[in-house]
Structure 1
Amino acid sequence: MKFVPRGQYLPYRFILGYIGIGLVGLGSFWFHATLQFQAQLADELPMIYVTTTTLWLLFDHDSGFNFKSPRTRLLTVAAVVFNTLFTWSYYINRNPVYHQVVFGGLLFSIAFRIYYLLTLSPVGQRVPKDKRRVIATLFGSGVAQFTFAFVLWNLDNIFCDTLTRWKVNVGWPLAFLLEGHSWWHVFTASGTYFKFIGIQYLALCLKDDHRNFTLQYSRLGLPYVQRIDKRTE
C-alpha cells in the first residue's frame, strides 16, 4: 500500500502513529465486544498515546530524525513520563470524564500547535506557502470529518427510538446504514487518517528538505506522503 511509511522510505517514527491508531481500533473492537474495563483501557489509553506521539512529532522540529538532539531527547522523556503517569492515574481514578478532559486538551493542543506552525512560527517558514496550504486543508478535512461523526453520534443518541423503528421496518442489511454509532467510527477513523497525513507532511517538511516530499492520492482517494528521492533515513 503506497501510504505505508516504509513504502516511501519515511522515518520509522511515523510508524508509531499508525501502530497507535491500529491499537485504538483493536481496543475499540474488544471493548464493544465485551464491555469489560480492561477492554475499555485498551480502547482509551492508545487514544492518549497517539495524541502525545503527535505532539512529540509537532514539537520536535530540529533537523534530522535521530535522537541526538537535546530537544528530541527531552520531548521523548516528557512523552513517556506523561503517558506513564496518565496510565497509572486513570487506572486508579476510573472516571471517563477525566479521560475526556485530558484527551480533549491534547487535541486542542495539537490544533493550536499546527495553527502556530503554519501561521505564526518562524520555524514554519521553512515550509513553502503552497505546502502549508495543503497541510491546512488536510487537517481541516480531518476535523470536518470528526465534526460530522460527532453530529451523527449525537443524532443517533437523540433519535435512538425512532431510528430503531426504522431499522426494524427496512430490515437487514439496509438497517446497517442507519447505525449512527457505526458511522461515528467510520468518519472518526477517516478523519484521524487525514489529520495524521497532514501532520506527517508538516513534520517531514520541518525536519528535512521540503523538496524531498510531495502529496499523492491512492486509487481509493486516500492521501499519502511520497518521498521523491527515495532515500532512507
Structure 2
Amino acid sequence: MAPVADRQGYWGSPTSTLDWCEENYVVSFYIAEFWNTVSNLIMIIPPILGALQTSKNGLEIRYVWAYLGLAAVGVGSWSFHMTLQYEMQLLDELPMIYSCCVFVYCIYECFKQKNGINYFLIALLLLFSIIVTVVYLQWKEPVFHQVMYGMLVACLVFRCVFIVTWVYPWLRALCYTSLTVFLLGFVLWNIDNIFCDSLRATRQSLPPVVGAVTQLHAWWHILTGLGSYLHILLSLQIRSTYLKYRPKVKFVCGIWPMLHIESQKTS
C-alpha cells in the first residue's frame, strides 16, 4: 500500500515547488491539503467584511484595498493548497508581496493630508513588486520569495513600533498583539517544516479530528491571517485618529474586532 502522503486525487500529481507537511488527499479526493485549504477562510471572510465596513465609514480607498489584498492572499492560498499546482502557488505567493506593499503604503502615509497621494512611494513599491515578480518567475526559488516578503514585513514592524512608542502609545496593545500573533504563526510554520516527519508519525496514532490540531501550517494561516487583519485595524486606527475622527473598535458577536467611526472631525 502506498504511503498516505502519496495518495492521488482530483488535481493529479503536484507541480508546485512546495508540498507542505499535511498528507495529500487524506480528507477529500478533491482537496489536496484539506486543513491547509479551509484554514484560509479567516483570510477571506473577515477582510471582505472589513472592506465593506471601511467603505461605509468613508475612509480612504487604500484601506479597502488593504483588506481586499488580504482576501486575495486567502483565495490564492486556498487555490494553492487545494490543487498543489504551480500556477496556483503563484496565485498565493505573489499577492502576498502585492498586499504587503499596500500595507506599507498605508502605514507610511498615515500622517499625511486626507486623500493625499504619494506618487513616488507608489512608484517605488510598484517597481519592487515588478522586480520580485519577474525574478521569481525566472528563478523558482521559494526562499527568494520568503526573503522579499520578510523585508516588507520588517518595514511594517519598524514603522508600527515607532508609532506606538513615540506617537500613539495607547495603541501599543493592539500593535504588539498583532505582532505576537503573527510571530507565533511564523514559529509554528518553522516547526511544521523542521519536524514534519515526527508530526506525520504522531497523526497516525491520533483520531482524525485530534490529528487536525497538529496541522501547524494551517495554524500559520489562522494566526498570520488574524495578525494581518489586526495590523490593518491598527493602521486604520492610526489614520482615523490623526484625521481627528473618533475611531472605536467594536466586537462583532462579541468576538471579532471591527473599526467603527463614531463621528467625523471634532475640530
Shorter-normalised TM-score: what interval? 0.7 to 0.9
For residue 89 of structure 1, report the CA deviation from its aligned partner.
2.2
State how far apart, in whole Å, the 2-side matches of 1:149 and 1:196 are.
Answer: 17
Q: Given that residues 74 and 92 in structure 2 are in contact (C-alpha distance below 8 angstroms), is that contact kept between their aligned partners in structure 1? A: yes
Q: Counterpart of 1:29? A: 78
- What amino acid maps onto 1:148 in structure 2? L
> Structure 1's 220 and 28: CA in aligned 2 closer, same or farther, altered over 3 A?
farther
Q: Counterpart of 1:156? A: 192
> Structure 1's 176 and 193: CA in aligned 2 closer, same or farther, altered over 3 A?
same
Q: Which residue, 69, 74, 92 being the options, matches 1:20?
A: 69
State how far apart, in whole Å, the 2-side matches of 1:108 and 1:117 are.
Answer: 14
The answer to whether structure 1 residue 137 and structure 2 residue 173 are counterparts is yes
Gaps of 5+ in 2: 1-45
Q: 158-167 or 146-155: which moved more? A: 158-167
Q: Counterpart of 1:182? A: 218
Q: Counterpart of 1:193? A: 229
Q: Counterpart of 1:118? A: 164
State how far apart, in whole Å, the 2-side matches of 1:27 and 1:106 are.
Answer: 19
Q: 87-96 or 166-175: which moved more? A: 166-175
Instruction: Kindly tell me the number of residue pairs found equivalent between the two proteins.
Output: 215
State how far apart, in whole Å, the 2-side matches of 1:79 and 1:152 are.
Answer: 29
**Misfit runs of 4+, over 4 Å:** none
Greater share of residues in helix: 1
State how far apart, in whole Å, the 2-side matches of 1:221 and 1:81 are.
Answer: 39
What is the aligned-residue RMSD (CA, Å)? 2.3
For residue 78 of structure 1, report the CA deviation from its aligned partner.
2.3
State how far apart, in whole Å, the 1-side matches of 2:254 and 2:87 are.
Answer: 35
Write the deviation string for residues 168-220 of structure 1: whole angstroms up to 9, x where unpaired.
Answer: 333233322222221121111111111221122112323x11x4322222224
Task: Report SS of the residue matched to 1:215.
Answer: strand
Write the deviation string for residues 105-156 of structure 1: whole angstroms up to 9, x where unpaired.
Answer: 1111111112223334xxx4xxxx4xx322x221211121122222323333
Percentage of matched positions with identical amino acids: 27
> Structure 1's 153 and 85: CA in aligned 2 closer, same or farther, altered over 3 A?
closer
Gaps of 5+ in 1: none
State how far apart, in whole Å, the 2-side matches of 1:168 and 1:47 are.
Answer: 33
> Structure 1's 43 and 24: CA in aligned 2 closer, same or farther, altered over 3 A?
same
